Amino acid sequence: MVIKKICSTIAKPVPAPVNGVVASGGGGTYTIDAAGDDGWFRKIASVMMGSASSPTTYSTHQNAGTITAGAIYDSDEMEYTWYKAYFRFVNVEVAQGATIASAEFKPFVAGGTGSKTFTLAAHDSDDISAPSGASDGAHSNHTSATVSWANPSTSAGQVTSPDVKTIIQEIVNRSGWSSGSDLMIVMWLASISTGDDGYRTFSDYTASSGTKKAQLVITVGED
């Protein structure tokens, strides 16, 4: 008599969403909307010739109205106004030390000019609160990981950044990070030729009754 052994396959359970988010540590992809306190930092700096570099500190903080990243030149005053945009994402349910398989930053462009390469980073913090002053925009607050974004579209609509997983990974690897903490993405222009303009404007949280909030899409690898 031939006895056939029958093997059953048990499917691995799919992690249940928590507040619309795949539970941390179980893998999966989810989208987080920016909080209602997105905005920008600004500084005016004179330049006489050659190229100009982004300031490392800022003098003004604003969290209302159109958000700007880049540099705008005033030929009469021979000076640049520099802008660094920020977008905060709250209750990010990714476990401390989880593996980030991929991540995309997806703001809504309102306009802009110049074929420029912008820089993305995050505020290097365990649980970032809403910025309260210009000092929160200092470059010294950045993650060591940065990502270059070459010529994001100037046409109105949602745009998708290159993969920013290295930035998100640095944040969730912090010893003080825990699931449900908040993180903040920043975007700026590193340098520009004198007399040239290069900037992007983005819709803020309230645009079109909140339908144009920036988004962060994170894919967490399975343990």
The average pLDDT across 96-105 equals: 98
3-state secondary structure of 209: helix
Tell me the one-letter amino acid at 81.
T
Each residue's pLDDT tens digit, 67-92: 999 999 998 888 999 999 999 999 99
Each residue's pLDDT tens digit, 136-186: 999 999 999 999 999 999 999 999 999 999 999 999 999 999 999 999 999
- What's the rounded Cα separation, in Å, for the pair 106 and 118? 14
Flag whether pLDDT at 13 surpasses 80.
Answer: no
- Strand segments, DSSP code E, in 151-207 are 157-158, 181-189, 191-193, 198-202
Flag whether pLDDT at 5 surpasses 50.
Answer: no
Res 41: pLDDT: 98
Res 208: pLDDT: 66
Q: Which of 134, 105, 120 is nearest to 44 (CA)?
A: 134
Q: Which residue has the higher pLDDT, 49 or 125?
A: 125
Q: Are 173 and 188 contacting, i.e. CB atoms less than 8 angstroms apart? A: no
Residues with Cβ < 8 Å from 47, sequence gap 6 or more?
78, 79, 80, 194
Phi then psi dihedrals of residue 134, to 5 deg: -65, -30
Flag whether pLDDT at 97 surpasses 90.
Answer: yes
Q: Which residue has the higher pLDDT, 29 or 12?
A: 29
Q: Which residue has the higher pLDDT, 48 or 159?
A: 159
Q: Which residue has the higher pLDDT, 105 or 10?
A: 105
Residue 91: count other Cβ atoms within 10 Å of its Cβ. 14
Q: Are 60 and 134 contacting, i.e. CB atoms less than 8 angstroms apart? A: yes
Mean pLDDT of the chain: 87
The average pLDDT across 109-119 equals: 96
Residue 41 belongs to what H/E stretch?
strand 39-46
Q: Which of 61, 58, 60 is nearest to 39 (CA)?
A: 61
Res 93: pLDDT: 94
